[in-house]
Amino acid sequence: MFERIKEIIIDQLGLDEDVVITESTSLMADLEADSLDAVEIIMAFEDEFDIEIPDEAAENFKNIGDIYNFIKSKKAE
């Protein structure tokens, strides 16, 4: 699942395939995503994993690990 999350981020941001994305990577600080990019990425996650990510939850994501853990918890329900 983490690999798929990375693929979506790379695709949405138009990054090189060899960019290093770890759980501690920040969308905004490290990958230079803006707020519109973040919204589009969240929507892509919702579509890909068939979940809903509330705005309140998305606002609390500090790094890719937070996103991964949220999606993992939703898929476990």
Q: Which residues are catalytic?
A: 34
As a whole number of angstroms, the distance between CA 14 and CA 75 comes to 27
CATH architecture type of domain 2-76: Orthogonal Bundle (1.10)
68 CB-near residues (< 8 Å, 6+ apart): 1, 2, 5, 23
**Model confidence pLDDT, tens digit, residues 61-75:** 999 999 999 999 998
77 has a pLDDT exceeding 80: no
Classified as helix, coil or strand, 34 is coil
* Domain range list for the chain: 2-76
**Model confidence pLDDT, tens digit, residues 1-48:** 999 999 999 999 999 999 999 999 999 999 999 999 999 999 999 999
At residue 9, the pLDDT reads: 97
At residue 75, the pLDDT reads: 85
As a whole number of angstroms, the distance between CA 16 and CA 9 comes to 11
At residue 76, the pLDDT reads: 82
- Report CA 12 to chain centroid distance, whole Å: 10
As a whole number of angstroms, the distance between CA 5 and CA 21 comes to 10
